[in-house]
A = this chain, B = another copy of it.
Amino acid sequence: MGSVWSSPERPAYPHQALAVVLQVRVRRLHVMLWERPNEPFAGAWALPGGPLLAEETLGASVARQLAAKVEVEVLGHLEQLETRSDPGRDPRGRTVATAYLGLIPAHLDPALPEDTAWHPVDALPPTAFDHGSMVRSALDRLRAKLSYTNVGFALAPPEFTIAELRELYVAALGYDVTATNLQRVLLRRGVLEPTGEQAASGRAGGRPAALHRFVTPELAVTDPFAVFRPPSRDPDGQSRSPGYEG
């Protein structure tokens, strides 16, 4: 098949799928970039990705292209971000690009190709095309979702202590959160659960930390939103407002 029924009224465009892959490494949030050897933007750093092929969806495409950089199994999460269509975004000719957000748990350290490396998101090298602003979009999305979903599961190892999880959240959010509050909030929302086991206490001693895990290893919205919730589901539909009579 391929690109059927293209015509002057229905122009067609090369489409690329790009991935903003994020991972917390040594307490800092990093993004995976590769260095362009050729013009345009020779020497600048770009997001992994490439052309959308004839029979694949964008999601499949980004996964396929990522496989050229890392094993796909390391990906904890992948979701569509946004599509950029500025006719001038590539000086060689028009392309449309759809960016995805990918997350890799912190306990993995996949091997990368020669031209590819991790860069701290708060100190990016010169970036190619509009990829810098795509990283920014991904960051915003991740930070927002850390609060009202369980995306954290895609940044964390299968089991972890609260202190370790806190490090991940601090790195990803870019500001401090307390372990106490993090634990209570995530537990109450049913996002986290204790495994029952505990980690070995560190070299300096200290009370051994309880191990936790994310209850569901897939994206779920925990608290839809703070305001204008649907009226609270009546627990047993009876005897509200006890002091009410006549």
CB–CB B5/A92 < 8 A: yes
B residues less than 8 Å from A154 (CB atoms): none
CB–CB A83/B55 < 8 A: no
B residues less than 8 Å from A14 (CB atoms): 3, 5-6, 10-12
B residues less than 8 Å from A226 (CB atoms): 147-148, 223, 225-226
A231 touches which of B51, B58, B169, B175 (Cβ 8 Å): B175
Interface-forming stretch among A32-40, A93-101, A121-129, A199-207? A93-101
Can you show 29 pairs from A to B with CB atoms below 8 A apart? Answer: A2-B94, A3-B13, A3-B93, A3-B94, A4-B92, A4-B93, A4-B94, A5-B92, A6-B12, A11-B14, A11-B51, A11-B52, A52-B85, A52-B96, A54-B87, A55-B87, A57-B85, A83-B98, A85-B98, A144-B224, A144-B225, A147-B226, A147-B227, A173-B230, A175-B231, A185-B228, A223-B226, A225-B226, A226-B226
